[in-house]
């Protein structure tokens, strides 16, 4: 992959035991492999952030904790994101909201797409809630998204078994993420994390 290729994080947004987000994220990565971009799995299990413990709000970009600085550098290195998110009580998991709240400028002026999953609403309410958060972070969330049924779109051992329409939705969503991610590159100014490198 060329060094100037768009860098996209596929963020697995749940850490609970027996979660489905890891398998769905790998499905996204497999389908994205032929595309002209560099896709990377960012699994929140591998980045255990404590509940927000920075004394100053993230908008000041004045981080005092090593885990915050590490998370900042990682997230700042991407041009766009695909969030894999389950629906918990009509919203998103606390671990994902916490990871988002740690940072501000690192998310800004980038593109995002969503793959939601859940029971009765297939993750739709989690995706809608996440769109509100993206708006505050100045992330351009694309219109297309993928919704999977926790009841019918997985094998008995928890592996994703997306229906044909979900495969098509994923292709559309990824195309929109790449288009918007490319367009937004020119808007961004260096963040504190980038200046420090």
More confident residue, 154 or 158: 154
Helices (H), 77-184: 94-101, 124-136, 164-184
pLDDT of 188 reads 82
| Mean pLDDT score across all residues of the chain | 94
pLDDT at 193: 62
Tens digit of each residue's pLDDT (9 = 90 or more) over 43-77: 999 999 999 999 999 999 999 999 999 999 999 99
Mean pLDDT in residue range 179-192? 86
Residues of the chain above pLDDT 70, percent? 95
Angstrom distance (rounded) from CA 92 to CA 188: 27
Q: What does the pLDDT look like over 87-139, one tens digit per residue?
A: 999 999 999 999 999 999 999 999 999 999 999 899 999 999 999 999 999 99
Tell me the H-state helices in 80-151.
Answer: 94-101, 124-136
Choice between 1 and 89, residue whose per-residue pLDDT is larger: 89
Q: Does pLDDT of 28 surpass 70? A: yes
- Residue 1, classed as helix, strand or coil, is coil
Question: Which position has the token pair 């595309």?
Answer: 35
Mean pLDDT computed over 177-188: 94
Domains (ranges, CATH) in the chain?
A: 6-196 (3.40.50.360)
């Amino acid at each position: 992959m060329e060094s100037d290729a768009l860098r996209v994080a596929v963020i697995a947004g749940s850490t609970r035991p027996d979660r489905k987000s890891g398998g769905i994220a790998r499905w996204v990565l497999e389908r994205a492999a032929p595309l002209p971009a560099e896709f990377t799995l960012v699994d929140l299990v591998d980045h255990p952030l404590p509940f927000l413990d920075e004394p100053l709000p993230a908008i000041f970009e004045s981080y005092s904790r090593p885990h915050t600085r590490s998370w900042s550098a990682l997230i700042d290195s991407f041009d766009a994101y695909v969030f894999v998110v389950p629906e918990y009580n009509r919203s998103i998991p606390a671990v994902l909201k916490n990871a988002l709240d740690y940072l501000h400028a690192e998310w800004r002026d980038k593109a995002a797409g969503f793959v939601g999953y859940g029971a009765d609403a297939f993750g739709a309410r989690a995706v809608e809630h996440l769109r509100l958060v993206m708006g505050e972070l100045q992330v351009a969330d694309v219109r297309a998204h993928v919704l999977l049924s926790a009841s019918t779109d997985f094998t008995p051992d928890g592996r994703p078994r997306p229906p044909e329409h979900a495969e098509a939705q994923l292709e559309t969503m990824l195309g929109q993420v790449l288009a918007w991610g490319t367009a937004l590159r020119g808007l961004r100014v260096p963040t504190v994390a980038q200046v420090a490198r």
